Each structure stands twice: as C-alpha cells, then as structure tokens.
Homo-oligomer: A and B are copies of this chain.
Amino acid sequence: MSHAPSTPVPYTYTRRIQWGDADPALMAYTARFLDFAMDAVDSWFRDVVGVDWYRLNTEHGFGSPAVHVDMDFSTPLRPGDTLQLSLYVERVGNASLSLRFEGRLDSGEPVYAGNLVHVFVDRKSLRSVPMPALVREPIERYARACRTEGS
C-alpha cells in the first residue's frame, strides 16, 4: 500500500548565470561553481527534505559541515546561460550524506559534475551525530525515488 513519491526526481535547481559570476576570461569563475552546488543542495534540503540548513542549525541545533567536495568541469558557463543542477543521493551513512550533482545547460550539454559529502554534527559541540530523524526519512525516500527512476 505504498504510494508514489511526491517529489519529481531528480530534483533540479535552476540558475541564470550573471555578469557578476564571470571573470576576465569571459566565463563563470571557477570558485562560483561551488557556490552554485551549495545553493542547489541548500534548496534541495528546503524543498525536498523539508528543512533547510538555516532551520536545521538555528531551530534544530544540528550542523552539516562538508568534509569532501570534488568537481570536474566539461564546458564553460557564460552570463545569460541557464544552469540546471540535478541532485542525487549517493550514500546515506550513519552520520554522513554523500550527494552527487550534475550541471547541464538547457540544451542538455554537460557543464560540470561532482560530489559533496557532509557529516551531521551537534551545532554546539561540533561532534558528529547520527543523521537526525527529521532529515533521514525524507532523504531515504528521495534516494529510493532516484533508484526507482533510474532502474
């Protein structure tokens, strides 16, 4: 008696590239791509998991610092381009969460892709804690929806 997931998968964050994102090589600055990925993940927490990083920290007392990030770049972005960043759950650990992001142009051309690994911590002590229940359930549901979609 299960029902279909209510969230379309993959979650895709959209962002138009602006003048201020670009550098003297006339394309988006390398470091901005991590801002884009972080904004995508924060939006996914808000829209899919149900609690964004801000409320997770300030209302629930948990932090989720990154312990690893990697990115591989295929194609430059220019102001006026629209970036579509899709998010996938790679692994749900006891205290950690591994996410994969894949960025494309509207045309579907790959721009960049990478991974972000976060751990959950107590906001005060910064000690790692098991993934809080309020995020674990929706994260696992989203991971299942992605697997179903991909199968």
Contacts and interface: CB of A to CB of B under 8 A. Distances in A.
Oligomer copy total: 4
A20 B23 contact: yes
Nearest to A22: B24
Interface residues of A, number: 42
B34 A38 contact: no
Nearest to A46: B80
Given A30-B66, A53-B79, A23 B25 contact: no
Contacts of A39: 18-20
A134 interface: no
Interface of A: 16, 18-20, 22-27, 29-31, 34-35, 38-39, 42-43, 46, 52-55, 57-58, 63, 65-73, 76, 78-80, 123, 126
Contacts of A65: 25, 27, 30, 73, 76
Residue in A25, A34, A39 with the greatest tally of chain B CB atoms within 10 Å: A25
Given A24-B22, A58-B26, A70 B68 contact: yes
